[in-house]
Amino acid sequence: HVQLVESGGGSVQAGGSLRPSCVVSGVTYDRLCVAWFRQATGNEREGVAWFSTNTHRTMYADSVKDRFTISQDNANNTLYLEMSSLKPEDTAMYYCATGPSGSYSRKVGSTWISNPCDFSRFDDWGQGTQVTVS
């Protein structure tokens, strides 16, 4: 079965950086969607970024664009989230997740966009790593 183990969270001051990681096992990594989600206390879980391991396409939530970068070490089945210019509103439990690669259509304005991954299509989750920004 799929196992995801996160590490690398922590506490930083606003403007600082962190790089949590997630080791993925029990699944074929070369055709997969991998993602980071976060959930702040009292809020719903939200998608932060996803990465398609076969197309190498990525997508980011507007709130983290130009500050966060999702990346992977394919040889070690490890997913990273490079977080910079951190803000107090980034404080949350961060989870990595995996899901099937496919062709998912979503309407953006008047246009249908097809992506290999979609935040609504992730099935397996890690235990989370806490990120606190003060």
Q: For position 107, what pLDDT does the model report?
A: 87
Query: Each residue of 17-27: pLDDT tens digit?
Result: 999 999 999 98
Nearby residues of 73 by Cβ (< 8 Å), 6 or more positions away? 80
pLDDT tens by residue, 25-77: 998 877 899 999 999 999 999 999 999 998 999 999 999 999 999 998 888 88
Other beta carbons within 10 Å of 17? 11
Residue 75: per-residue pLDDT:
86
**Mean pLDDT, all residues of the chain:** 94
User: Which pLDDT does position 127 carry in this prediction?
Assistant: 96
pLDDT of residue 30: 75
* Residues in Cβ contact with 34 at an 8 Å cutoff, skipping those fewer than 6 apart: 22, 24, 50, 51, 53, 70, 72, 79, 96, 97, 98
